[in-house]
Amino acid sequence: MNLTLRQGEELVSSLMDSLPKNLTCEVVIAPPLTHIHFLVNQVSGTPIQPAAQNCHHAASGAFTGEVSVEMLKSAGATYCITGHSERRQLFHETNDFIRLKVDSILKGDLIPIFCCGEPLEVRDKGEQNSFVLKQLEESIFHLDESSFLKLVIAYEPIWAIGTGVTASPEQAQEMHAFIREAIRSKYGQAVSQAIQILYGGSIKADNALSLFTKPDVDGGLVGGASLESKGFLAIIEAACG
Phi, psi (deg, nearest 5) at residue 136: -65, -50
DSSP string for residues in 5-35: HHHHHHHHHHHHHHS-SS-SS-EEE---GGG
The shares of helix, strand and coil residues in the chain, as percent rounded to the nearest 5, are: 50, 10, 40
Integer Cα distance of 79 and 101 in angstroms? 13
- Please, are residues 48 and 29 in contact by the beta-carbon 8 Å criterion? yes
Q: Determine the longest span between alpha carbons in the chain, in angstroms.
A: 48
Catalytic residue among 57, 93, 118, 156: 156
170 is known as an active-site residue = no
Catalytic residue among 35, 84, 93, 176: 84
142 is known as an active-site residue = no
User: Which residues are annotated as catalytic?
Assistant: 84, 156
